[in-house]
Amino acid sequence: MSRLTDASEQVGRWVGIDEAGYGPNLGPLVMTAVIAEGPIAFPPDLWIDLSRKVARAGSSDDRLWVDDSKKVYSRGNGRDRLEAATLAALSTTGVNPRSFHDLLQAVGVDERATKALLHWAEAKSYALPTSGSVERVSDALRSNPFDGAGWRISSIRTVVLDAEIFNERLEVLQSKALVHFEAFVTLLRPLIDQPATTFVRGDKHGGRHYYYAPLTDAFPDRWIDRIEESPSCSRYSIRGENAPLTLELIPRADASDGLVALASIVSKCIRELWMDVFNGYWLRRVPGLRPTAGYPQDARRFRSAIESVAEVQVEPTRSWWRAK
């Protein structure tokens, strides 16, 4: 029996936000919000409410893994688990993307980022699930792991900053941390002034504890209450004309909140798929080139290998290399 059986009928919204790709020089920064709705008296606990079908990384049974994406996917292993969790969560919202392009549209990625992907893809469809993930994705879709909890995932929204967009925003904001925060605000803004009381949780941004000033800059027409600012939690209330939004940023949020963990998985899945496309573009042009995950040390090796070809292809460095 669900623990939500006798819950109040007043509806609340719970949102987990997390990113992938903050550190690399190649590939995009991806940030995702997973939004759930249900009785306000019983906040979703993904690992308890869905324990029959969902487990943390490392479970030896057939349950779907939802956890910090670094635990789900490591050193090239677990890609099928990223895709299974991402596509199963989207299926719960009524969306079943059949290609990477469809996936970007399903999570609301803007037109400019989508065009950047299509440039690297060169008209290739990049079908989903990918070849090594078909069996696990099929099993996940069949079992409906996110159904039956008394709450539901209502939508998933993602921001993708490819290298060119990232560099443009870096030039304007003069801070990599502010580029990250701007992406966060892009996901946060549509959640404010909604009829349902909303609770947002995410990871601390680079260990920062104080967000009151940038929040007031981002939302000058909203009343922001500073509830707590400490190493363990930074909590704020953002109020407008409708129901309030509570924002909570904590260290390692993806380890303690299942919605944040799921957001980290979706972000990582999208980034890995993007790197497939990006690597494919250059591997077709540079014989013997090894693909890259885009992180600094290996990114320098990859850059050295493609730079002369990029000049011939008239691919400006800023369109594929992130300045920070």
Q: 115 is written with which tokens?
A: 């065009």
Are 109 and 103 spatial neighbours (Cβ–Cβ below 8 Å)? no
Q: Tell me what pLDDT residue 206 has.
A: 83
DSSP 3-state percent helix, strand, coil across the chain (nearest 5): 40, 20, 40
By DSSP bridging, strand 11-20 and strand 197-203 are parallel
The pLDDT value recorded for residue 125 is: 87
Bridge partners for 11 per DSSP: 39
pLDDT at 73: 96
Q: Which amino acid is at 318?
A: R
pLDDT band per the 50, 70, 90 thresholds, residue 210: very high
pLDDT at 280 over 90: yes
Distances (CA, A) of 116 to 70, 109, 136, 322: 26, 11, 29, 14
Tell me: pLDDT of 76 over 90: no
Which sign does the torsion angle of CA 133, 139, 141, 145 carry? Answer: negative
One-letter amino acid of 24: P
182 alpha carbon, distance to own chain's centre: 14
Amino acid sitting at position 93: T
| Rounded distance between C-alpha atoms, residue 123 and residue 281, angstroms | 11
The CA distance from 229 to 208, in Å, is: 10
Q: Which domains does the chain have, with CATH numbers?
A: 11-319 (3.30.420.10)
Mean pLDDT of 69-77: 92
pLDDT of residue 3: 44
- B/e letters for 250-284, b = 16+ CB within 10 Å, e = fewer, are beebbeebbbbbbbbbbbbbbbbbbbbbbbbbbee
Q: What is the pTM of this model?
A: 0.95
CA distance linking residue 27 with residue 31, whole number of Å: 13
At residue 2 the predicted structure's pLDDT band, cuts being 50, 70 and 90, is very low
pLDDT of residue 183: 98
Mean pLDDT, residues 47-76 taken together: 95
> What does the pLDDT look like over 4-45, one tens digit per residue?
444 447 899 999 999 999 999 999 999 999 999 999 988 999
Q: What is the residue whose two structure tokens read 């939500």?
A: 4
Instruction: Report whether pLDDT(77) > 90.
Output: yes
Examine the pLDDT at 216 and tell me if it is beyond 60: yes
Judge whether residue 217 has pLDDT over 80: yes
For the chain, give the mean pLDDT: 94
Q: What interhelical angle do 258-283 and 296-312 show, nearest 10?
A: 40
Over the stretch 159-209, which tens digit does the pLDDT of each residue have? 999 999 999 999 999 999 999 999 999 999 999 988 899 999 999 998 789
CA distance 225 to 156: 27
Residues 97-126: what's their mean pLDDT? 95
Mean pLDDT of 223-248: 95
